[in-house]
Amino acid sequence: MKSKTTAAWLAFVGGPLGLHRFYLHGFWDLPGWLLPVPTALGLYGIERVQQHGQDDHLSWLLIPLLGFTFAGCALRAILYALTPPERWNARFNPGAESDTPAGHTHWGTIGAIVASLMVGTGVLMASLAFSFQRYFEYQIEEARKISQPSQAPIEK
């Protein structure tokens, strides 16, 4: 029996590693194996910032991948937790009765919703702020380069 509460907590805690996908769909689930890729790329972006500083353009692209992956997994946890028991059991516990306890919502499920909302929203906002800030700083930097007069010597 696949528990809705367990799936929601796995999506929140281990979602970027695909743990919820493996729990629900088995060890050979392709999206479960692909989820660690943006997570690893985002962690590599953080490492690049530590090595090369905040002006590293590649890290600007990689770091938001980590944040968006975390936020997406938090959203998936919320969706799992809010699925009605009848639909949950029909999809993940076929052959079981529609009122099987594995699909019921209880305090552990509500805790997964609350945690996912708080952390997922914070991570999403931080990722968007980081992305937009770096993009606009880069645009201002390029505009300054264009508007500055060249310092070439004047020939007489």
Q: Tell me, yes or no, whether 44 lies in a domain.
A: yes
Question: How many domains does the chain contain in total?
Answer: 1
Q: What share of the chain is helix, strand, coil (3-state, %, to 5)?
A: 80, 0, 20
Which structural domain, as residue segments, surrounds residue 140?
A: 4-147
% of the chain with per-residue pLDDT over 90:
66
Q: Tell me, yes or no, whether 139 lies in a domain.
A: yes
Q: Tell me, yes or no, whether 80 lies in a domain.
A: yes
Contact at 8 Å (CB) between 117 and 16? no
Report the predicted TM-score, pTM, of the whole model to 2 decimal places: 0.84
Q: Tell me, yes or no, whether 156 lies in a domain.
A: no
Rounded mean pLDDT, 15-19: 96
Q: How confident is the model at residue 135 (pLDDT cuts 50, 70, 90)?
A: confident
Q: Tell me, yes or no, whether 57 lies in a domain.
A: yes
Per-residue buried b or exposed e for 85-117, using 16+ beta carbons within 10 Å of the residue's own CB: beebbeebbeebeeebebbebeeebeebbebbe
**Read out DSSP for 61-118?**
HHHHHHHHHHHHHHHHHHHHHHS-HHHHHHHHSTTS-TT-GGG---HHHHHHHHHHHH
Q: Tell me, yes or no, whether 152 lies in a domain.
A: no
Distance CA 38, CA 113 (A): 23
Q: Tell me, yes or no, whether 154 lies in a domain.
A: no
Contact at 8 Å (CB) between 109 and 81? yes
Q: Is the pLDDT of residue 152 over 60?
A: no
Q: Is the pLDDT of residue 153 over 80?
A: no
Q: Tell me, yes or no, whether 153 lies in a domain.
A: no
Nearest by Cα to 24 from 67, 79, 70, 66: 79
